[in-house]
Structure 1
Amino acid sequence: MTALGFLYPGHSAEDDYQRIEQLLGSDIRLDLAHTDIGEELETGSADRLAAGVEELLLNGPEAVVWASTSGSFLYGWEGAHEQIRALARAAGTPASSTSFGFVHAVRELGVRKVAIGATYPADVAELFAEFLRAAGIEVTGVHSGGVVTAAGEWGEGELMSLAQEADEADAEALLLPDTALHTASHIETLEKHLTKPVLTANQVSVWEALRLTTRKVNAPSLGTLFTREPVVQV
């Protein structure tokens, strides 16, 4: 059994992790600890994350992921690195965040140009684009849904509209970065409609945790990221 731990802010789309665990169909357990949501950078503060880690450690995780995209990229490229270093020290395991999960997933797919469909306000969405650019990823466009707190109530219709509005013809993949969105049951549909890989926050968070433990799982229902062979970087 591979146990993976996730620090999830508040309560919104946490049932995505139950769905993903079912879709993985193997000896993998996904454990969540909920952290408090504060103002902007407070959400991802070392104290809040450390408090959540204490709960996760009871389940013996092999890796821990801070499952908040904005709660990591708002710290900037260097600040987000320090955040996960502190998390790894607190957990005593390999650690990462959803933001870095997106970077590693894009590299895994071997794509260079991506479009972003974010529920966030425009200024916050642009900070995610800047984070990706710092990793050497070209962002062809950023679409903002302008949502602050209601993304967890979105269904397939709203999700599909966001994806369609955000997609760019020259983008090789579409990124949907909000962990408050329910996406686990819709990735296959999104990819078939857009005819390109779609990376979503909770999907990427789980993939990143598996990457930290060197586990590779083939799960077609979770999209291209969970079916394609790793790209050899040269």
Structure 2
Amino acid sequence: MATAGFIYPDHAAEDDYPLAERLLGDGVRLPVAHIYGTDLHAVAELLDLGSPARLAEGAGLLAEHQPDAVVWACTSGSFVYGWDGAAEQVAGLAEAAGGLPASSTSFAFVRAAAALGLRRVAVAASYPDDVASLFVEFLAKGGVDVVSMSAADIDTAAEVGHLAPEAVADLVVSRDHPDAEALLVPDTAMRTLGLIDDLERRLGKPVLTANQVTVWEGLRLAGASRPVPGLGALFSARGV
């Protein structure tokens, strides 16, 4: 049994993780531990949300599940630190988890893009523009060129979590760009796993979403990567 554990901020779209666990089938567990802070999409609040003390708390909550790897399941609460700061954040998380392999959603996006050979992407962000711009900078550090970025200017994760599936699909599809090889959707507060296959059919290109790449990264670190129907190109043989 492989276990990838996830530290998730507050409550919004964490039901994407049991959905992924069901799609993955036997032999994989995806426990989620919640930490709490403000859900505001603002730099100062996001820096606090991803602080060493909060992530250490999450690692402690996951310990009872005996995970093989841990992932900070928050994009904005990792890229807001910048590339080097996010790397230090992950190193601290690994230490707090007793030396387990660790990562975050921001690094998961970069590694997922590399796995699919993607270099030019569009970003459909739910955040305000100043926060979304920091994600673009982070991707650039990882060798991913953002040819188009749109920010929906939604202030809180709770608001994102309440978006209806149709609203999520419309937000994503309307932000595509003809020069992009894929579309990235960076908020773990947005329910997307049940929509990915349909979005990829509509756009004719890979769609990488925050909870999708986070699960993929956790499985990769836990040594449990596998092709899975229903989770998009990333979980095809090409992506794993």
With the length of structure 2 as denominator, give the TM-score of the two structures.
0.94
Q: 1:106 aligns to what?
A: 113
Answer yes or no: is the 8 Å Cα contact 1:73–1:131 preserved in 2.
yes
Q: 2:155 aligns to what?
A: 148
Distance across 2 between alignment mates of 1:102 and 1:186: 18
- When the two chains are superposed, the root-mean-square deviation of aligned CA atoms in Å is 1.1
- Structure 2: tracts of 5 or more residues without a match: 39-44
Q: 1:89 aligns to what?
A: 95
Distance across 1 between alignment mates of 2:26 and 2:231: 14
Q: 1:42 aligns to what?
A: 48
Answer yes or no: is the 8 Å Cα contact 1:109–1:228 preserved in 2.
no
Residue type of the partner of 1:113? R
Matching of residue 71 in structure 1 with residue 77 in structure 2: yes
Answer yes or no: is the 8 Å Cα contact 2:112–2:239 preserved in 1.
no
Q: CA deviation at 1:230?
A: 5.0
Q: Deviations over 1:96-125 (max 9, x none)?
A: 000000000000000110100000001111
Distance across 2 between alignment mates of 1:183 and 1:26: 22
Residue type of the partner of 1:127? L
Q: 1:2 aligns to what?
A: 2
- Structure 1: tracts of 5 or more residues without a match: none
Which of 214, 219, 233 lines up with 1:224 in the alignment?
233
SS state at 2:178 partner: coil
Answer yes or no: is the 8 Å Cα contact 2:126–2:160 preserved in 1.
yes
Residue type of the partner of 2:238? E
Distance across 2 between alignment mates of 1:228 and 1:158: 30
Distance across 2 between alignment mates of 1:144 and 1:199: 16
Distance across 1 between alignment mates of 2:181 and 2:229: 19
Q: 2:172 aligns to what?
A: 163
Q: Deviations over 1:61-106 (max 9, x none)?
A: 0000000000000000000000000000110200000000000000
Q: 1:132 aligns to what?
A: 139
Distance across 2 between alignment mates of 1:37 and 1:96: 20
Residue type of the partner of 2:221? L
Identity among equivalent pairs (%): 52
Residue type of the partner of 1:17? Y
SS state at 2:6 partner: strand
- Count of equivalent residues: 231
Residue type of the partner of 2:129? A
